[in-house]
Amino acid sequence: MADAFPGTSPLPEPVPIPAPASEPLPVAEPERPLMDHGKTLYLAKWSTRLWAWLIDIILVILFLNIVRGILEPFWTLPLIWDYPHWGIFEIGIETLIFFLYWTICESYKGQSIGKMVMNIRVVNRDGTKIQWGTAAVESLGKAFMPILFLDCLIGWLAMPHTKLRVFNRISNTIVIKTDYREPEGILYVKDKE
């Protein structure tokens, strides 16, 4: 080619330039919220909750029978299973007693006697103790027997796998398992028998 143009020198052979090493482009990490599981709350099984409820029903019925025996000379209350003789007033009194029992017990410690026996408790969704108003709303569904059936049925069908009744959802509460271990720093020693 240099011969084609007089007075020019030949061009040097081109030196191949190595291609720059391709560095991988930085890929942005997807934004994931960090989940801090500070507390682990184990939800109680439906069967455990049913047994606790039955224990409470039996205890309250026993109490009502004692009250019925005391009031018999003045006022005759029909037995709980004697529905044909029940009036609105008697049903209202029994329902009120059930409602007060659960409201008082669960607002005090989160547990009725049945829940204590079955090692479960009612708490707010964050695991804190419930207050009087919350306990009252949560207890409404259990105290009125016809409502309890619908309360559980809707909970099972409309909110599967949450282990919530409708009144748990309304009151923003959950029922959790409790564990009665020795307090931290204390060791119980048992004598051999």
The 10s digit of each residue's pLDDT in 91-115 is 788 889 999 999 999 999 899 999 9
In a domain, 191, yes or no: no
Angle at 189 between CA 184 and CA 192, to 5 degrees: 160
Residue 78: inside a domain:
yes
Percent of the residues in the chain that have a pLDDT greater than 70, as a whole number: 73
pLDDT of residue 121: 95
- Exposed/middle/buried for 112, CB within 10 Å: 0-12, 13-18, 19+? buried
pLDDT, residue 1, reads: 53
Q: How high is the pLDDT of residue 29?
A: 56
* Predicted confidence band of residue 85 (pLDDT cuts 50, 70, 90): low
In a domain, 53, yes or no: yes
Quick check: is 10 in a domain? no
Domain presence at residue 140: yes
Q: How many domains are there within the chain?
A: 1
Q: Helix, strand, coil % (nearest 5) of the chain?
A: 45, 5, 45
Question: Is 185 a member of any domain?
Answer: no
The answer to pTM > 0.75 is no
More confident residue, 165 or 65: 165
In terms of residue numbers, what domain contains 57? 46-177
Query: Quick check: is 13 in a domain?
Result: no
Assess if residue 189 is contained within a domain.
no
